[in-house]
């Protein structure tokens, strides 16, 4: 019996050791000693990119969303296709749409100069998203770090995991819930559409076919988005008509006025369970900012690779 207990104790100890290594917790001070200049290196590169093109802030924020919604926040969206897997870059939600990969390359190069082989691409995405929001006038938050990078990617997972702009409210709530995100998180995170632009192909059906849309707004959008599919598909329009380069709460003010650009946007204010949250954010920007920051931290916790899982990529586009 004593021998059995001894062996059991050893086994349990080993299990705890292995489990703890594979499931290490993310921490806001993860690189405090190993890369003290991390945040300044990332922010200066993000600031430079946004100074050249304001839209890049929205693109970097979107990259983090699209990474986390596909097998967790693991940097998989950054991987180029290889002979052994077809990655996420050409999945339907990302093809001709996801952008900012060169900026992430530049950030990685800057970080590698100050602390080579230490910081994951997944963590760089998380920091760049936070910095983009802050630079464009939005809230800031302490980013939890310690993620490692995936060694593979999946186009099919990206096709299935990222909510489509045609999603209805129940589909949105269901997808966010499956990732541990609440309905309030859904509405707050959707507020990221206060910056950035969308392609005509993603809002054509709404501006020509839907009735819960303000008439003058629909006509304005129709001027640069022809009714015929295949014509002007990549023409862009701002997701927030009022202040497309400022991170504020005008996205929610627009929804209340039936000026949501995407079908999935207007679903948040269409007589359903999220109307009250949208109305609250439209009148209280402070509440939106704090809820958005909290939801971003929560989203960053989705299935990260930590401890001995994954790797620290030298080049964000390919595995080591």
Is 152 assigned a ligand-binding role in the annotation?
A: no
Tell me whether residue 163 is annotated as binding.
yes
* 283 labeled part of a ligand binding site: no
Q: Tell me the C-alpha distance between 191 and 185, whole Å.
A: 10
Where are the extended beta strands (E) located within the chain?
A: 197-199, 236-238
Whether 66 sits among the annotated catalytic residues: the reply is yes
Strand (E) or helix (H) holding 121: helix 121-135
Q: Residue 240 annotated as binding? A: yes
Structure tokens at 207: 């501006």
88 annotated as belonging to a binding site for a ligand: yes
| Residue 87 marked in a binding site | no
Here the tokens at position 180 are 């541990």
Q: Is 74 annotated as a binding residue?
A: yes
The verdict on whether residue 194 carries a ligand-binding annotation is: yes
How far apart CA 300 and CA 126 sit, in angstroms, is: 7
Non-local (6+) Cβ contacts of 48 within 8 A are: none
The answer to whether 70 is annotated as binding is: yes
* Helix, strand and coil in the chain, % to nearest 5: 50, 5, 45
Distance CA 237, CA 234 (A): 10
Q: Distance between CA atoms of 306 and 24, rounded to whole angstroms? A: 6
Rounded distance between C-alpha atoms, residue 151 and residue 253, angstroms: 42
Residue 243, annotated as binding a ligand: yes
Phi-psi map region of 72: left, alpha, beta (phi>0 left; psi -120 to 50 alpha): left
User: Is 67 a known ligand-binding residue?
Assistant: yes
Residue 139 tokens read as 């809230």
Check whether 201 is labelled as a binding-site residue. Answer: no
Q: How far is CA 276 from CA 252, 272, 282, in A?
A: 11, 9, 10
Which DSSP symbol is given to 193?
Answer: G
- Which one from 24, 45, 56, 66 is the annotated catalytic residue? 66
Residues in the annotated binding site: 67, 70, 72, 74, 76, 88, 163, 193-194, 240, 243, 248
Residues in the annotated binding site for Ca(2+): 67, 70, 72, 74, 76, 88, 194, 240, 243, 248
Residues in the annotated binding site for heme b: 193
Residues in the annotated binding site for substrate: 163
Active site residues: 66
């Amino acid at each position: 019996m004593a021998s059995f207990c001894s062996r059991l104790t050893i086994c349990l100890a080993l299990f705890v050791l292995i489990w703890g290594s594979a499931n290490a917790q993310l921490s806001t001070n993860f690189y405090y000693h190993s890369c003290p200049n991390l945040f300044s290196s990332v922010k200066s590169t993000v600031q430079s990119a946004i100074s050249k093109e304001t839209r890049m802030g929205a693109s970097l924020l979107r990259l983090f969303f699209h990474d986390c919604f596909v097998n967790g926040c693991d940097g998989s969206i950054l991987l180029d296709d290889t002979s052994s897997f077809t990655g996420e870059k050409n999945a339907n939600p990302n093809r001709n749409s996801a952008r900012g990969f060169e900026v992430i390359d530049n950030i990685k190069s800057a970080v590698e100069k100050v602390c080579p082989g230490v910081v994951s691409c997944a963590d760089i995405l998380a920091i760049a998203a936070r910095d983009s929001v802050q630079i464009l006038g939005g809230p800031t938050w302490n980013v939890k770090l310690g993620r490692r990078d995936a060694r593979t990617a999946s186009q099919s997972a990206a096709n299935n995991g990222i909510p489509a702009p045609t999603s209805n409210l129940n589909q949105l709530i269901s997808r966010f819930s499956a990732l541990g995100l609440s309905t309030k998180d859904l509405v707050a995170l959707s507020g990221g559409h206060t910056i950035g632009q969308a392609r005509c192909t993603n809002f054509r059906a709404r501006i020509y076919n839907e009735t819960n849309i303000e008439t003058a707004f629909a006509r304005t959008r129709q001027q640069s988005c022809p009714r015929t599919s295949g014509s002007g598909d990549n023409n862009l329009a701002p997701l927030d008509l009022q202040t497309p380069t400022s991170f504020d709460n005008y996205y929610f003010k627009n929804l209340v006025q039936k000026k949501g650009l995407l079908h999935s946007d207007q679903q948040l204010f269409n007589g359903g369970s999220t109307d009250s949250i949208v109305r609250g954010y439209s009148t209280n920007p402070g509440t939106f900012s704090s809820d958005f920051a909290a939801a971003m931290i929560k989203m960053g916790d989705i299935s990260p690779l930590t401890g001995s899982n994954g790797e620290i990529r030298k080049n964000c586009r390919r595995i080591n």
